[in-house]
Amino acid sequence: MAKKSKKQQAGGTPATVALTAAGVPFTVHAYEHDPAHPSYGEEAAEAMGVSPERVFKTLVADVDGTLTVAVVPVAGTLDLKALATAVGGKRATMADPAAAERTTGYVRGGISPLGQRRKLPTVLDASASAHPTICVSAGRRGLEVELAPDDLRTLTDAVSAPIGRA
């Protein structure tokens, strides 16, 4: 369990502030981010010593013109067709990174499904329910929060669907 820095204790990121305000139990995991690492999610799993199936990445896609958040295990990829189906859409593409950053208020590699500037439709991969806790970005590179998948689903109004591919 990582200790919280003074900044995190004083206010933290919008994600940790949202979790605290909701009274949801969570654990913060901090690690030194390596800009040369090829995968933010795999780096997080390695640094925390957590199975990649329990570490979830937050991706922003455009589903029929609506930005939509997909939360999938870092060990796999996002099935865009399944994402579109999960939200009643026809076609999904990955969102423009600048639009994702502008809309969520987070930088790429640190986008959290929690505490976003504008709440977006969210889909959590069904595999999350197989774990008592999962890890997602806490809102910056090198910072993750661990929480129960049901709490994440509730706080983000997410639907659960099989949107990840191994």
What whole-number distance in Å separates Cα of residue 107 and Cα of residue 163? 23
Confidence of residue 110 (pLDDT cuts 50, 70, 90): very high
Buried-state track 118-154, b at ≥16 Cβ within 10 A, e below 16: eebbbbbbbbbeebebbbbbbbbbbbbbbbbbebbbe
- pLDDT of residue 11 exceeding 60, the answer is no
Half-sphere exposure of 74 (CA within 13 A, CB side): 22
Q: pLDDT per residue over 138-147, tens digit each?
A: 999 899 999 9
Q: pLDDT per residue over 22-61, tens digit each?
A: 999 999 999 888 888 888 888 888 889 999 999 999 999 9
- pLDDT of residue 90 exceeding 90, the answer is yes
